Chains A and B, each alone.
Chain A
Amino acid sequence: MQTTIQTEKQRGISSARRKLVQRLGFAGISLAALLTVAPIVLIVIHIYSNGLPAISWEFISAMPREGMRAGGILPAIIGTFWLTLGTAVVAVPLGVGAAIYLAEYAPDNRWTRTIRIAIINLAGIPSVVYGLFGLGLFVLFLRFGTSLLAGSLTLAIMTLPIIISTAEEALRAVPNSFRVVSISLGGTQWQTIRKVILPQALPGILTGVILGLERAAGETAPILFTVAAFFLPRLPNSIFDASMALPYHLFVISTQVPSMPIRIQYGTAVVLLTFVLGMNAIATVIRSRARAHRQW
């Protein structure tokens, strides 16, 4: 009979070697983690260091002048603001409603599975296809024209899968025992959802909503054919007006306008990035505050 230690020696797996392997493995995964952080840090540093000098009160509050080569980007900022709001108005009730149905009511049958497959596929469709779909359905068929309405609806459809899946996850994370207790106290299922489940899931739902809207705010392709104006130096008056929007504006001044001052391009990128990262920061605050106050 051999002892375990002798066996190890025979096979040549010394403890020094195992420690070395462990150290290498640890270094490898640390590097992987570091590499995922590097791009976002580099992007932020690059954009802000080049773009911040362009930011002034005039830049964010004035109309563009001289073929967008001077002046501000106010119409693009306002356009993106309205588009994001319009997307929220359509996508939040629809998405949260669908999530409540899927998490709380839907029986496990073929119909429910079909809905789930549809949502998963909706998330996988390329954004330019949403743009063409919006053009076909909202702009042309429903005759909304190139408008904030058509753009918001297109972005809303694109955002739905994100909102539905995060909201459903947030609802499912609420302990089932709360549902049982509420029902046992004579609550209806709807009362249980409204008074116990939804309030508990709300921070998670809000986080998903903000992440979804953040994507909508930054997308270019879906608004390309549905709302965005190349150059429109006035603010939209109604939901049937076309509008400028930050991502498309950035694309236009980076590729379509000759002798464009580069600082305006970077300045526009700074505004868009700040808009998106700001929403992200709000989501993070909501999430961490909810976690601190959570009672389960």
Chain B
Amino acid sequence: MVIRRTGTQAASPEQAIKIKIEDLSVSYSDGTESLRGVDLLIPEKAVTVLFGPAGGGKSTLLRMINRLNDLADVTEVHGHVWLDGQDVLSPETDVIALRRRVGMVFARPVVLPMSVRRNLTYGLELSGEHDAEFLRGAVERSLRAAALWEEVQDRLDEPASSLSGGQQQRLCLARSLVLEPDVILLDEPTSGLDPISTGKVETSLALLKQDYTIVLVPHSIQQAARTADFAAFFLGGELVEYAPGRQIFTNPQHERTEDYVEGRFG
């Protein structure tokens, strides 16, 4: 199957570009090729959605942006990831600083085995921030941003695991916001949540995009359509089509995109 990759740049939006993916190819040590020659421009302060069937390389791409793939068995990487013009994949990059600028929320809500409050202050304390007043303020700010403050303001010292699944996931979102990142990566953040919790997370994202660059791997095509300012369709490790969200879901240019968007394969 040959997929035409023309037009992937044509969708480049007029907004300032935050992240530039350049001819990126990634292979894992078991021989699977996860990404093949991906070019993608991710605009600032907008929600960019990476969607497509499983195994398309969406998660791999996310984890290249904050270098979390350093933990995985990645054997071959070609190409570049630029964040504000900084070469993310360079061996000289300070990955600790990078990961503080690029927050991440995972598919399952992974709260650390500590109190709600300490989950939030953990990342700050790692870098030596111990000012009690500052930490208190940061906790409240991040919880408000994740639309969780009202629900947990009296439960800050309870174990985070005592929160409901939806609250835990918003706590994870708050935990990445507390570091005041520029970019937030979300890898199917609502896949384990009920529709109401999912709605709350999506509402938060709609507000957060005023200040943050958001890259989202949605857990359904409906969520992709609801949230996307820009959307990139991935298939078998290749970027098939990249366009403003409204366009790609109503008037896809590529046959494969159209088939997928209309549910002919999944």
Q: Report whether over half of chain A's contact residues are helix, strand or loop; otherwise say mixed.
A: helix
Q: Are B99 and A185 in contact, CB atoms less than 8 angstroms apart?
A: yes
Choose among B97, B104, B108 the residue with the greatest number of A CB atoms under 10 Å from its CB.
B104
Once the chains are docked, how many angstroms separate the CA of A179 from the CA of B72?
A: 12
Are B110 and A295 in contact, CB atoms less than 8 angstroms apart? no
Partner of A185, one of B108, B159, B179: B179
Interface-lining segment among A37-45, A186-194, A205-213, A279-287? A186-194
Judge whether B106 and A177 touch: CB under 8 Å: yes
For A195, list chain B residues within 8 Å (CB). Answer: 122, 126
* Chain A minimum-CB-distance residue to B94: A186
Q: Complex Cα distance A27/B123, Å?
A: 56
Residues on the B chain within 8 Å of A191, using CB: 126
Given that A186-B179, A187-B126, A295-B159 are contacting pairs, would A181 and B97 also be in contact in the complex, using a CB cutoff of 8 Å?
Answer: no
Beta-carbon contact of B175 and A185 below 8 Å:
yes
Contacts of A196 in B (CB 8 A): 112-113
- Specify the chain A residue showing the minimal Cβ separation from B161: A295
Q: Complex formed: what's the CA distance from A295 to B158 in Å?
A: 11
Residues B108 and A186 in contact, CB atoms below 8 Å apart:
no
Given contacts A196-B113, A295-B159, contact A184 B126 (CB under 8 A): no
* B96 & A178 in contact (Cβ 8 Å cutoff): no
Say yes or no: is B66 at the interface (Cβ < 8 Å to chain A).
Answer: yes
User: Which residues from 4 to 61 on chain B have a C-beta closer than 8 Å to any C-beta of chain A?
Assistant: none
Kindly state whether residue A129 has any CB partner on chain B within 8 Å: no
* Residues A152-208 near B (CB distance < 8 A): 175, 177-188, 191, 195-196, 199-200
Q: Across the interface, do A177 and B108 meet the contact criterion of CB distance under 8 Å?
A: yes
Q: In the complex, A195 Cα to B122 Cα: how many Å?
A: 9
Residue contact A177 to B110, C-beta cutoff 8 Å: yes
CA of A178 to CA of B112 in the docked complex: distance in angstroms? 6
What are the residues of chain B within 8 A of A296 when measuring CB–CB? Answer: 113, 161
A295 touching B175 by the CB < 8 A rule?
Answer: no
Q: Which chain B residues border A183 with CB–CB below 8 Å? A: 68, 71, 99
The 0/1 profile, CB within 8 Å of A marked 1, for residues 97-115 of chain B is 1011001101010111100
- B127 CB–A CB distance under 8 Å: yes
B113:A181 contact, CB within 8 angstroms: no
Number of A residues near B (Cβ < 8 Å) is 21
**What's the Cα separation between A175 and B161 when bound, in Å?**
14
Q: Which A residue's beta carbon lies closest to that of B175?
A: A185
In the assembled complex, B176 has its CB within 8 A of some CB on chain A: yes
A185 near B161 with CB under 8 A, answer: no
What mask results when residues 118 to 144 of chain B are scored 1 for a CB within 8 Å of chain A, else 0?
000011001100000000000000000
Q: Do A186 and B113 touch across chains, with their CB atoms under 8 A apart?
A: no
Q: Give residues of chain A (267-290) contacting chain B, Cβ–Cβ below 8 Å.
A: none
| Contact, CB under 8 Å: A185 / B113 | no
**Chain A neighbourhood of B68, CB < 8 A:** 180, 183-184
Residue of A nearest to B68 (CB): A184
Is A295 within 8 A of B113, CB to CB? yes
Q: Which residues of chain A from 126 to 161 have any CB-CB distance to chain B below 8 Å in the complex?
A: none
What residue of chain B has the Cβ atom nearest to residue A185's Cβ? B123
Contact A186 B99 (CB under 8 A): yes
Q: Which residues of A contact B175 (CB under 8 A)?
A: 185
- Chain B, residues 236-251, CB within 8 Å of chain A (1/0): the string is 0000000000000000
**Chain A residues within an 8 Å CB radius of B122:** 182, 185, 195
Q: Across the interface, do B113 and A184 meet the contact criterion of CB distance under 8 Å? A: no
**A294 contacts across to B, CB distance below 8 A:** 113
Closest 7 CB pairs of A and B: A185-B123, A295-B113, A295-B161, A186-B100, A177-B110, A186-B99, A184-B104
B contacts, CB < 8 Å to A: 66, 68, 71, 96-97, 99-100, 103-104, 106, 108, 110-113, 122-123, 126-127, 159-161, 172, 175-176, 179
Give A residues with C-beta under 8 Å from B: 175, 177-188, 191, 195-196, 199-200, 294-296
Q: Can you give 15 A-B contacts (C-beta < 8 A)?
A: A177-B106, A177-B108, A177-B110, A178-B112, A179-B71, A180-B71, A180-B106, A180-B110, A183-B68, A183-B99, A185-B122, A186-B100, A186-B127, A196-B113, A199-B113
